[in-house]
Chain A
Amino acid sequence: MKRLATAFAIATILALGSQAAFSQTLKTVQDRGQLVCGANGTLAGFGMPDPNGNWVGFDVDFCRAIAAAIFNDPAKVKFVPLTPGNRFTALQSGEIDVLARNTTWTMSRDTTLGIDFAAVTFYDGQGFMVHKSLKVNSALELNDASVCVQQGTTTELNLADYFRSNNMSLKTVTFATADEAVKAYDSGRCDSYTTDSSGLYGERLRLSDPDGNLVLPEIISKEPLSPAVRQGDDTWEDIVRWTHEAMVDAEELGVNKNNVDDMLKSSAPDIRRLLGAEDQFGQSLGLTNDWAYRIIKMVGNYGETFERNVGQGSPLKIARGLNALWTKGGLQYGLPIR
C-alpha cells in the first residue's frame, strides 16, 4: 500500500508541482539541517535499525559519511525505509536526497528513471540459498524447483534468465517485500530463496534454523550496488561520488578512524590533499576543506565500514572478495583527489 501511496504522491507532484527545487539538493539539505537517506530497513549488514532503534549497516554508514562531510555530525540523517517498489519513486519525487539501498546500477535505471548512480560501493552478485535437507549442491540442480524472490528487483529478472539459459524450468513465487519472501521460504513454501549473495548471508541469520540452510556456490549475475541521486544536480552527485572515493582513498593511504589526527601532520602530498591540509578540494564541492577528514574521523575509511558492518567484525562475515582494494586483487579503486 505504501508503494501505491508513494506512486500516487509522485503523480500528484509531477502533475501539480514544479521541478525547480530538485536542482539544489545541497542547499535544501543544509537549510533543513538534516540529510534524508533512503535505506533498506530490513537487510542486516546493509540497512536496518538495531534493537535500540539506531540505524546501522554498510549503506547506512555511507549516508552518515555524507552527513559528516556536510554537517560535521554523522547523526544528522533521517533514514526512510524503502521497498524495491517505491525506492526510485521516493528519489524522483524528492522525498529522499540520496538512495543508499543496495541498489544495482543498470543501464535502464540509469537512462530512463531520471536518476544517476554515483559510485559502486559494493560489488555483489546474485546467489541462491536452499534447505540443506534437499541435498542440493549446485544451482544447476534446481530444475523444477520453487524459488521465492522479492518483486521489483534485478534479482527477479536474473532468476528467469538463469533458468532459461540453462534450459531449466522453475516456479517463481514473488513477494512484495524481502521479509515475506524469506518467511515463505522458511516455512517451506519454496525450495530456494534468491537475492544478492550479500543479502543471503544476512537473511540466513534470521531463519528459524540458520544451520539447516546453505548458500550455493554459484553467482549468477553482476550486481554493482551504488547509491543514486536525481539526475540534473551535478554538484550533489559529485558530493555523493567523492564521499565514496575519499573513503577508498583513505584505505589505500592507510588513513583510518584512529590515526586520522596524526595523519594531518603527515608530509605525504596524497594524504595532505585528502585531509584538506593542502588545496581547496572541499570548497569545490561546496563543502569545507576538511570534508574527508570528517568522514574518516566520524565514520571511518572504506575497509573499516566494510569489516564493521558486513565483514569479519559482523555476524555476516562476508569476505572482501571483489570489494578488496585494487592493490589487493579487488575492484575498489579510489579515484585520485587532485
Chain B
Amino acid sequence: MLDIVQPAPLSRRQWGNLALQAALVVVVVGLAYAAYVNAAENLAKAHIASGFRFWNNTAGFDISQTLINYSPSTSTFGQAFWVGLLNTLLVASLGIVLATVLGFAIGIARLSRNWLVAHLAGGYVELIRNIPLLLQILFWYNAVLKALPDLRSSLSLPGGTLLNNRGLFLPRPQFGERFGFVLAAFVAGVIATIVLYIWAHRRQDLTGEPPRTLSYALALIVALPLVVFFLAGAPLRFSFPEMGRFNVLGGIEILPEFAALLLALAIYTAAFIAEVVRAGVLAVPHGQTEAAQALGLRSGSTLRLVVIPQAMRVIVPPLTSQYLNLIKNSSLAVAIGYPDLVQVFAGSVLNITGQAVEVIAMTMAVYLFISLVTSLLMNLYGRAVRVVER
C-alpha cells in the first residue's frame, strides 16, 4: 500500500515560529552587514588600505617548501596563499592517514588479551594525550630532529638517501618516455582486480565458495607492471642527492619542520583515535563475537568481518571530530617554521601587506571550508557504513 503524503497546512503556531526565525535571520545578516560597513569606514578613516588589491602584487619573500612553482621575484601574494594552503593540506592529509592507521592499531592493541601489548597501548594513550600538542611539536623538532648529525657528518642510508639536521634527502626518480606503458599496465591491473573482486563476491553469494583473489590481485597489480617495466627497457633513473658546500643538492628534500609537525600531529591524534576505536569495538555486543566464533570464524576474520563493520557506525562521528582537530592543529606549524597557511598567509603576507582584517577573515574562511568538506565526506562515509536493518 502506498502512502500519499500530503503536507499538512501550517498551524497558526508554526507560522509564528517561522516568522520569528525569519526575523532572526534578518537581524543576524543585518548585524554582519553593519559590521562590514563599519569596518570598511573605520579602515578608510584610519588611512589603512583595504580590499584585495594586494592579491596580485609581487610577494618578494621566499618559502622553504613549495608544492607548486613559486619564486620570490615573480610570484604574487595570491600564489603564496596557494603554496601555504597546499602545505597545510599536505601535512593534514598525511597526518590523517598516519593517525588513522596508528590509532586503529593501538585502539585494537589496547583490547588485546596479551597483557604486555594491552598495557603498552594503554600507556601510550595516557602519555600522549595528556601532554599539550605544542610541547610535543617542539619536542620532536628540538629534541629529536635537531639532534641529528650536521651536514658534514650526514648519515648515509641505503639507497643513496642522506639524513642530517637539514632534513631527509631521497633520490629523485626521473621517468623515461616509455614509463607511460608501465603506468598503463598498473592501471589496467587495478581495474582487472576490481572486476575480479566483484565477480568473486558474486560467486560467493551464489555458491558460498569463499573468494581467493589475493594471489591474482598481486599478479595483476605488481607482477604485470613489473614485467612491462623490464620489457620497456627499465625507463627509470634516479638523481641522487649530493653534498654541496652548504647544503645537500638535488633529490627530494623532506624538511625537518615538516617531519616534526607530521610526527607530532599523527602521534597525538592517534592517541585519541585509539580511544574512539576502543569505545567503538566495546560497543559491539559480545554476543556478536561469540556467534561469529560459533560459526567457525577465526579471530582475525571475526574482527574484520563482524566486529569492525558494526563498530564503524559508533566510530565515525567522533573520528570526524579528531580529523577536524588534526586539520586545525596543523596551524601550530607556526611554532617551528613549517610554511603552512597560517605561517605563510596569516604570517608573512599579513605582515608585509598589513591587511589584517582581509587576511585573517580569509584564513578563517579557508579553515572553515576545509573542515566542512571533511565533515561532509565523513558523513557520507558514515552513511555508507551504517548498519542496514533487514
**Contacts A17-B42, A85-B351 hold; do A171 and B357 have CB atoms under 8 A apart?**
no
Which of the candidate stretches A119-127, A140-148, A210-218, A248-256 sits at the interface with the other chain? A140-148
- In the assembly, what is the distance between CA of A123 and CA of B246, in Å? 32
Which of the candidate stretches A47-55, A183-191, A296-304, A330-338 sits at the interface with the other chain? A183-191
- In the assembly, what is the distance between CA of A194 and CA of B356, in Å? 26
Closest Cβ–Cβ distance, residue B93 to chain A (whole Å): 23
From the candidates A7, A109, A176, A180, name the one contacting B356 in the complex (CB within 8 A). Answer: A7
B27 at interface, CB cutoff 8 A: no
Q: For window 334-367 of chain B, which residues contact chain A by CB distance below 8 Å?
A: 334-337, 339, 342-343, 346-348, 350-354, 356-357, 359-361
- In the assembly, what is the distance between CA of A184 and CA of B91, in Å? 21
Q: Which residues of B contact A181 (CB under 8 A)?
A: 337
A107 at interface, CB cutoff 8 A: no
Are A88 and B39 in contact, with the CB atoms below 8 A?
no
A14 at interface, CB cutoff 8 A: yes
Q: Which residues of A contact B247 (CB under 8 A)?
A: 144-146, 171, 191
Are A14 and B43 in contact, with the CB atoms below 8 A?
yes
A16 at interface, CB cutoff 8 A: yes
Q: Which residues of B contact A134 (CB under 8 A)?
A: 246
Are B46 and A11 in contact, with the CB atoms below 8 A?
no
Q: For window 241-294 of chain B, which residues contact chain A by CB distance below 8 Å?
A: 244-247, 249, 256-257
From the candidates A84, A145, A174, name the one contacting B63 in the complex (CB within 8 A). Answer: A174
Which of the candidate stretches A56-64, A71-79, A153-161 sits at the interface with the other chain? A153-161
A244 at interface, CB cutoff 8 A: no
Q: Which residues of B contact A145 (CB under 8 A)?
A: 245-247
B192 at interface, CB cutoff 8 A: no
Interface-centre pick from B60, B246, B336 (highest chain A CB count, 10 A): B246
Are B347 and A152 in contact, with the CB atoms below 8 A?
yes
From the candidates B42, B48, B72, name the one contacting A113 in the complex (CB within 8 A). Answer: B48
Select from chain A the residue with minimum beta-carbon distance to B356.
Answer: A7
B45 at interface, CB cutoff 8 A: yes
Q: Which residues of B contact A22 (CB under 8 A)?
A: 46
- In the assembly, what is the distance between CA of A11 and CA of B45, in Å? 14
Q: Which residues of A contact B348 (CB under 8 A)?
A: 151-152, 156, 174
Are A18 and B354 in contact, with the CB atoms below 8 A?
no
Select from chain B the residue with minimum beta-carbon distance to A152.
Answer: B351
- In the assembly, what is the distance between CA of A180 and CA of B335, in Å? 8
B38 at interface, CB cutoff 8 A: yes
A230 at interface, CB cutoff 8 A: yes
- In the assembly, what is the distance between CA of A231 and CA of B64, in Å? 36
**Contacts A15-B39, A92-B46, A170-B62 hold; do A152 and B350 have CB atoms under 8 A apart?**
yes
Closest Cβ–Cβ distance, residue A25 to chain B (whole Å): 13
Closest Cβ–Cβ distance, residue A106 to chain B (whole Å): 10
- In the assembly, what is the distance between CA of A88 and CA of B47, in Å? 13
Q: Which residues of B contact A328 (CB under 8 A)?
A: none
Select from chain A the residue with minimum beta-carbon distance to B354.
Answer: A113
What 1/0 flags go to B316-335 for Cβ under 8 Å of A? 00000000000000000011
From the candidates B73, B335, B339, name the one contacting A164 in the complex (CB within 8 A). Answer: B73
Select from chain A the residue with minimum beta-carbon distance to B348.
Answer: A151
- In the assembly, what is the distance between CA of A157 and CA of B49, in Å? 20
- In the assembly, what is the distance between CA of A191 and CA of B247, in Å? 9
- With an 8 Å Cβ cutoff, the count of chain A residues facing the other chain is 56
Closest Cβ–Cβ distance, residue A79 to chain B (whole Å): 21
Are B39 and A172 in contact, with the CB atoms below 8 A?
no
Are A176 and B64 in contact, with the CB atoms below 8 A?
no
Q: Which residues of A contact B151 (CB under 8 A)?
A: 188
Closest Cβ–Cβ distance, residue A191 to chain B (whole Å): 5
B165 at interface, CB cutoff 8 A: yes
- In the assembly, what is the distance between CA of A188 and CA of B244, in Å? 16
- In the assembly, what is the distance between CA of A123 and CA of B244, in Å? 36
Closest Cβ–Cβ distance, residue A102 to chain B (whole Å): 15
What 1/0 flags go to B359-381 for Cβ under 8 Å of A? 11100000000000000000000
What 1/0 flags go to A251-291 for Cβ under 8 Å of B? 00000000000000000000000000000000000000000
A195 at interface, CB cutoff 8 A: no
Q: Which residues of B contact A142 (CB under 8 A)?
A: 246
- In the assembly, what is the distance between CA of A142 and CA of B247, in Å? 11
- In the assembly, what is the distance between CA of A278 and CA of B75, in Å? 58
- In the assembly, what is the distance between CA of A120 and CA of B224, in Å? 72
From the candidates B63, B350, B354, B361, name the one contacting A172 in the complex (CB within 8 A). Answer: B63
Select from chain A the residue with minimum beta-carbon distance to B355.
Answer: A112
From the candidates B46, B150, B337, name the one contacting A180 in the complex (CB within 8 A). Answer: B337
Select from chain A the residue with minimum beta-carbon distance to B57.
Answer: A108
Q: For window 28-45 of chain B, which residues contact chain A by CB distance below 8 Å?
A: 35-36, 38-39, 42-43, 45
Q: Which residues of A contact B256 (CB under 8 A)?
A: 189
**Contacts A7-B356, A170-B62 hold; do A176 and B48 have CB atoms under 8 A apart?**
no
B146 at interface, CB cutoff 8 A: yes
B61 at interface, CB cutoff 8 A: yes
- In the assembly, what is the distance between CA of A174 and CA of B62, in Å? 9
Select from chain A the residue with minimum beta-carbon distance to B344.
Answer: A174
From the candidates B62, B337, B357, name the one contacting A175 in the complex (CB within 8 A). Answer: B337
- In the assembly, what is the distance between CA of A171 and CA of B65, in Å? 9
Q: Which residues of A contact B61 (CB under 8 A)?
A: 156-157, 160, 172, 174
- In the assembly, what is the distance between CA of A11 and CA of B32, in Å? 13
- In the assembly, what is the distance between CA of A232 and CA of B48, in Å? 11
A7-B356, A231-B47 given; 6 more Cβ-contact pairs under 8 Å: A108-B354, A113-B354, A160-B62, A170-B62, A189-B165, A232-B45
**Could you jot down 10 A-B contacts, CB within 8 Å?**
A14-B357, A88-B354, A92-B356, A144-B245, A171-B247, A173-B257, A174-B61, A174-B339, A176-B335, A183-B142
- Across chains A and B, which 8 residue pairs bring their CB atoms closest together, nearest first? A152-B351, A114-B48, A172-B62, A160-B72, A112-B49, A15-B35, A145-B246, A114-B46
Interface residues of chain A, those whose CB is within 8 Å of chain B, are 3-4, 7-8, 10-11, 14-19, 22, 84-85, 88-89, 92, 108-109, 112-114, 134, 142-146, 151-153, 156-157, 159-161, 164, 170-176, 180-181, 183-184, 187-189, 191, 230-232
